Amino acid sequence: MTLIIVESPTKAKTISKFLGPKFTVKSSFGHIRDLPEREMGIDVENDFAPKYVVNRKAQEKVKPLKADAKKADFVILATDEDREGEAIAWHLSEILKLKPDEKNRIVFHEITKTAIQKALDSPRKINFDLVDAQQARRILDRLVGFELSPLLWKKIKYGLSAGRVQSIALRIIAEREREIEKFKKEEYWTITAQLETKSPIGDLVSKNYFEATLTHQNDKKIEETVTLKLFAGDYKTKKSTIKDEKTAGEIKAELEKAAFKVSEIAKKETTRTPPPPFTTSTLQQAAINSLGYSAKTTMMLAQKLYEQGHITYMRTDSTNLSMESMLAARKTIEKKFGSEYALGSPRFYKTKSKGAQEAHEAIRPTNPAQTPEDLAKLDDRQRKLYALIWRRMVASQMQPAVLNSVKVLIGAKGSPCSFAQNQDQQNEVISKQVSEQKKERGAKNEYILQANGSTVKFDGYLKVYGDKMPVSENLLPDLKEKEGLDLEKINTAQKFTTPPPRYSEATLVKVLEEYGIGRPSTYAPTISTIIDRKYVEKNEEKKLQPLEIGLLVNDLLVEHFPGIVDMRFTAQMEEDLDKVAGGEKKWVPIVKKFYDPFHENLVSKSKEIKKEDMLEKLDRKCPECGGDLLVKFGRFGKFIACSKYPECKYTEKTEDEKKFEEENSGEVCEKCGAPMVVKRGRFGPFLGCSKYPECKNIKPIVKKTGVQCPKCEEGEIVERKSKRGRIFYGCSRYPDCDYSLWNKPTGETCPQCGGLLTFAAKGKQKCANKECGYEKS
């Protein structure tokens, strides 16, 4: 009998289906050895030798694995093919006392019968370069966490943590918050004209009017793009030369008296090539943006799809596809969409990810012929993620989309203009012609407006997206050059320059990948950690916003441990680990080079940093001893305490806490009639009976929105949590009224259907009624 060991029971169950009675497949249920929980477990004096222990949960799994290994003729380690999987295989080999030189390791990037058989035909030895790379990462993270975290406990608050990658992620979010705070909004105005043509409107267009935007006044552009240099990349924002309502009104008055004429029409055919199949990073970004899944949820669902044999391995930074999968995709395309949508030869993509490592395939369906509709047995969330992966991979092997675009320049007061080959030449032509026209006519001002239209000539790969085609069409009437146009209306709109946006999970993952911070396996746990530590929260727009404690931790690290939160330093460390995995470097010198200066600085800063310097000092004294009053962080939030603690143990609540208690007071215990008071526990504030412990009645504090339930018109929409911990909003009269929605209501109603408007991503608001589809910025 041959024993095959994998990490998860689901994976074991799937593989068992492909093998006969001569094979037994068992699961280790993840890691079976790791560094000890209550001690550092690293001998820094002896080349950072790690001390591995079998953790408590794994102990009950090890005994039956040892028994099965003794019975087996041969043991095969079939854990995942990345560094983490290689390390698990090595730990299993050590525990089961397998021969280190034995070819007992198999790898595969998809769980199919063909892939499993191919792997069994070509076993190899354990790759100790990969093991060393994982071990080095684990040791580095343990050194930082075990030595730096206690400093945060002493100087700020107990229970805080620091880490190589999580601290960089926190800094990126914190720096963006400071950039938003420093940003000064500037008012500007835009002007559009509703114009009408007398020409026939054509077969595709149902209206003879269209909108054009003012782009030039005399020889100057109205709107320009300003680039801001930020901590993590550049940010572009728009501003205009029309600074106030008065100027906008003057231009509007002139345009209302102007004659409008089509100066030139430029038509262009463009092709749009499909994006490459998913990597871990791009899958997370797409799932967050399209499905609303967090990075953690995305990876959990992808893991299940992989273990069930539906997709290839989900931790990868490669965009490669196997020849077999591309040929299979072509057959599916020809059958489902027609031969005109299929490529003559496969399309290959080049991996662009910085520091791309193990040569996996991209994330793709194991069988492209299996459409999302064929997997109705999957739960809803898994099926939606599979559909996202399937469409992306199939689209990558389809014909490009062909788009027709048209750009129309319209002169006011008869100002002519002409298109040039690029934007700079176009601006020069516009400027020159406007100036000449002014000389000829002696006009006070000459204006140029622009209208853009686009149509899909051939949908190509967009066909796979059906109604959810990621391209919007804007049809213009069939205009002619030199044609005069009638003015329907001039619209002016006040706008403000926008600050750089806060990061969503998707944009944070993108930045981490761009700068080489972390690797595919670390993005999701990194984000989860900084949210779980209450350094960051997701606001109503699902953007990552730093909390006060997060800003405080970041400020301490930036000032006193700049190397830990330096992006270039961290990216270089990742590159060094890649070289360890490739056999180009040894791990011990890399760890030593990092640890020695880090530890020396830590010892120095432990003495230098005073806790009082990290805390907010109030401008009043302790009423009991006259000492300074400080705002401290406790287990359940902020409180005010005397600086002379422990000699003086005076404390009081903050003004925010007093206000919170006041807002949530007034309820009476339904069991004993005593007042209910605000209390705090490990899961946050709640209401408890004031007669505790005689009466142990407790109630949750309901977060109200002030919005009436549109279904029963009696209850109020309040914040709730699902069984999975996801926040949603529902009627306070539940279960009598079951009205619910995922996004927080704004308090406004939809102008189209009368439903509730809710907060949405990118600062937008959308109707809660999915059939309506109304959305506004």
Q: Would you please indicate which residues are annotated as catalytic (active-site) residues?
A: 313
Q: Which residues contact 610 (CB under 8 A, 6 or more apart)?
A: 155
- Angstrom distance (rounded) from CA 224 to CA 527: 35
**106: nearest Cα among 82, 122, 88:** 122
- Angstrom distance (rounded) from CA 776 to CA 760: 10
**Count of helix runs (H) and strand runs (E) in the chain:** 19, 33
- Angstrom distance (rounded) from CA 254 to CA 256: 5
- Angstrom distance (rounded) from CA 284 to CA 294: 8
Count of CB atoms within 10 A of residue 44's CB? 16
**725: nearest Cα among 538, 550, 509:** 538
Q: How many residues does the chain have?
A: 777
**What ranges make up the beta strands (E) of 231-356?**
233-240, 260-272
CA separation (Å) from 649 to 32, 280, 644, 657, 680? 46, 51, 8, 19, 20
> Which H or E element spans position 67?
helix 56-71
Cα-Cα-Cα-Cα dihedral sign, residues 571, 228, 223, 445: negative
Count of CB atoms within 10 A of residue 564's CB? 22
CA separation (Å) from 270 to 400, 404, 454, 457? 10, 6, 10, 10
Taking the CA atoms of the chain, what radius of gyration do you get in angstroms?
32
- Angstrom distance (rounded) from CA 347 to CA 398: 9
Q: Is residue 186 within 8 Å of residue 466, measured between CB atoms? A: no
Q: Is residue 490 within 8 Å of residue 191, measured between CB atoms? A: yes
Q: What is the DSSP string of 675-702?
A: BEEEEEETTEEEEEETTTTT---EEEPP
> Helix (H, G, I), strand (E, B), or coil: what is residue 727?
strand
Q: Which residues contact 319 (CB under 8 A, 6 or more apart)?
A: 276, 277, 279, 349, 350, 351, 352, 362
Task: Tell me whether residue 709 is exposed, middle or buried, using C-beta atoms within 10 angstroms of its C-beta: 0 to 12, 13 to 18, 19 or more.
Answer: buried
Phi then psi for 309, rounded to 5 degrees? 85, 15
- Angstrom distance (rounded) from CA 224 to CA 210: 23
Q: Which residues contact 226 (CB under 8 A, 6 or more apart)?
A: 236, 237, 238, 239, 497
